[in-house]
Amino acid sequence: MLGIKILPVLLFGAIAQSKYIVPGGRWHDTDGNLVSAHAGSITFDEGTGRFWWFGEYKIEGQEEGGGVSVYSSEDLATWESHGLALEPVKNHTYISPENVIQRPKVVYSEETSQYHMFWHADNSTYGLLLQGFATSDTPAGPYTFVNATAPMGNWSQDYGLFTDYKDGRSYALYSNGDSVEGRDVYITRYNKEVSELEEVVYRFNKFDLEAPTIVQTDNSYYALMSHKTGYRPNNVVAFRADSLEGPWSQPFMVAPLNTRTFNSQSGYTLKIEGSKKTTYLYIGDQWDSNSLWESRYIWLPIEIDDKKKTLELAWHDVYDLNVKTGEWKPIEGKTYYGKDAKTSGDAFKQEANFASHNTILTGIYGNDSTVTFEGIEGTGKPQWVSFYYQNTDDMGFGDQPGGTPDRIGGEWQLRRISSVVVNGNTSNVETLYQRDTHKSIILSTPLKLTLEKGKQNTITIGGLYNGFDYKGADLDRIVVYPPEE
């Protein structure tokens, strides 16, 4: 049994990447539709020579129970949709549209010559806490439901799956709920067929974490997990060990403090063993609790130092990854600072010692209080533009469950929406979702814009209604990146 066919990824016949990876961007498939594969996993299949991305299918009006979508790619950036790998069945006990079908993972079983899918199976009140199981003869499916069971007689909430590349054995990773008797995360080994669990090899006792995933190097195992704050972002932590059985280290944060892991939650990790370099990717979700179908994906390179026993996420707005060689490089852009922008209405420049040139643009509101960046150089082709911002609406809460932020109308606000207009063309208004940041923490969110060729372009930012107000986030700077090759 070889387990998930990811490691090693030696793609001699693969096409070198021609598109960039842009964390937090709107990612579209080859049909032009928004990719909907949340809290999922990526499997490399040797038979097809492609990566297969499985995730929760969420659209407006069907945020849970939509089934498991599947996409395939040769470069991890250009994704072809294959529809639903696991489709909901009306009135089914476990996979009806009224059920919870979350965090799907797929592993290939050499023993059965089938692809096995597992997920967190539940009802709408989270009263079942089971693991679902389905099979297919092909990676794209359709997958046939087999059962939903309590692992080793235990509860199971957030689900992960890990395959050890040294011996090929697969393991289920799962938290066991929020009750006083729960609050643990388990590593449990599957049988050789990867159809049933046979032994608990470790329990992370009472850390009260979820969304587990494991990164394996030649010398270490790193288990990443998030705190329990629902769809609100928090500081993801990691543990390190020499073996899955432990002992495991104390948890440590994997991203700069108060960035809330760049506004993301852990979910999966991918190891790419190329011909020149081994690269590890963090596959996270940037949730939007007010409109889950608008949630984005945060995929970032992981920096690991086994000698120092450290693991860190490296932020890059735009980077180029070659899955054949395993090499990646950040793309350089041109920066335009808020201190040079023009303000209108009640928008103004304010002193901020944490911002570029000690200046941040604030007071952005609706169509009347805007800021405009001028003299922007474009190419006449679609380009990624990153907007660096601060949005402090709700980030007073900690990583503890039930942390209470400032509330607006008794609801979580969690993001502002800005309007973006290029060259004064108000007939084409782009929407810029700006998730929360902690006070004095500046993060970025990207938009793909088409700028005219030359240095005469303008970008104007205002505020759009986000369900509560018309405020745009405070702006520090924008960075314009060259077109994709």
pLDDT tens digit sequence for 232-291: 889 999 999 999 999 999 999 999 998 999 999 999 999 999 999 999 999 999 999 888
Average pLDDT over residues 342-359: 98
Give the CA distances from residue 426 to residues 367, 419, 461, in Å, rounded to whole numbers and listed in that order.
10, 10, 11
**Exposure on the CB side of residue 359, measured as CA atoms within 13 A:** 14
Placement of tokens 């598109």 in the chain: 19
User: Mind listing the pLDDT tens digit for each residue in 288-339?
Assistant: 988 899 999 999 999 999 999 999 998 999 999 999 999 999 999 999 999 9
Beta-sheet pairing, 221-227 with 209-216? antiparallel
The predicted structure's pLDDT at residue 412: 58
Q: How far is Cα 40 from Cα 50, in angstroms, rounded to an integer?
A: 16
Average pLDDT over residues 199-210: 96
The predicted structure's pLDDT at residue 467: 86
Q: Could you say which DSSP state residue 339 is in?
A: G
In the predicted model, is pLDDT for residue 17 greater than 50?
no
Average pLDDT over residues 49-53: 96
Average pLDDT over residues 38-42: 96
Can you give the C-alpha Rg of the chain in angstroms? 22
Give residue limits of the domains in the chain.
20-330, 334-483
Average pLDDT over residues 416-436: 96
Cα dihedral 21→23→24→29 (10° resolution): 30
Confidence band, pLDDT 50/70/90 cuts, at residue 413 = low
Q: How far is Cα 424 from Cα 259, in angstroms, rounded to an integer?
A: 33
Confidence band, pLDDT 50/70/90 cuts, at residue 402 = low
In the predicted model, is pLDDT for residue 229 greater than 90?
no
The predicted structure's pLDDT at residue 404: 53
Amino acid at site 401: P
Token digits of residue 419: 């309007």
Q: Which of 3, 4, 84, 2 is nearest to 37 (CA)?
A: 84
Q: Calculate what percentage of the chain has a pLDDT beyond 70.
A: 92
12 against 402, higher pLDDT: 402
Q: How far is Cα 390 from Cα 73, in angstroms, rounded to an integer?
A: 34
Q: What's the CATH class of domain 20-330?
A: mainly beta
Lowest pLDDT segment from 228-242, 411-425, 430-444: 411-425
Please answer whether residues 359 and 353 qualify as being in contact, where contact means their C-beta atoms are separated by less than 8 angstroms: no
Please answer whether residues 73 and 17 qualify as being in contact, where contact means their C-beta atoms are separated by less than 8 angstroms: no
CA torsion sign, 367 to 373 to 374 to 377? negative
In the predicted model, is pLDDT for residue 454 greater than 80?
yes
In the predicted model, is pLDDT for residue 395 greater than 60?
no
Q: Is 448 exposed, middle or buried (0-12, 13-18, 19+ CB in 10 A)?
A: middle
* Inter-residue long-range contacts of 372-375, CB under 8 Å, 24+ positions, other chains counted: 372/341, 372/342, 372/343, 372/344, 372/458, 372/459, 372/460, 372/461, 373/336, 373/340, 373/341, 373/458, 373/459, 373/460, 373/478, 374/340, 374/341, 374/342, 374/458, 375/336, 375/455, 375/456, 375/457
Average pLDDT over residues 387-413: 63
Please answer whether residues 154 and 186 qualify as being in contact, where contact means their C-beta atoms are separated by less than 8 angstroms: yes
Q: How far is Cα 256 from Cα 440, in angstroms, rounded to an integer?
A: 13
Please answer whether residues 300 and 318 qualify as being in contact, where contact means their C-beta atoms are separated by less than 8 angstroms: no
The predicted structure's pLDDT at residue 18: 46
The predicted structure's pLDDT at residue 179: 87
Q: Which of 145, 149, 151, 148 is nearest to 171 (CA)?
A: 151
Q: Could you say which DSSP state residue 388 is in?
A: E
Q: How far is Cα 175 from Cα 227, in angstroms, rounded to an integer?
A: 11
Would you state the CATH architecture of domain 334-483?
A: Sandwich (2.60)
The predicted structure's pLDDT at residue 450: 97
Average pLDDT over residues 443-450: 97
In the predicted model, is pLDDT for residue 226 greater than 90?
yes
What spatial distance separates the first Cα and last Cα of the chain, rounded to whole Å? Answer: 39
The predicted structure's pLDDT at residue 64: 92
The predicted structure's pLDDT at residue 8: 33
Measured CA angle at 365 (ends 394, 342), to 5 deg:
120
DSSP line for 47-89: TTTEEEEEEE--BTTB-SS--EEEEEESSSSS-EEEEEEE---
Average pLDDT over residues 34-41: 96
Confidence band, pLDDT 50/70/90 cuts, at residue 23 = very high
In the predicted model, is pLDDT for residue 475 greater than 60?
yes
Q: How far is Cα 93 from Cα 309, in angstroms, rounded to an integer?
A: 45
In the three-class reduction of DSSP (H, G, I as helix; E, B as strand; rest coil), residue 153 is classed as: helix
Q: How far is Cα 315 from Cα 8, in angstroms, rounded to an integer?
A: 25
In the three-class reduction of DSSP (H, G, I as helix; E, B as strand; rest coil), residue 151 is classed as: helix
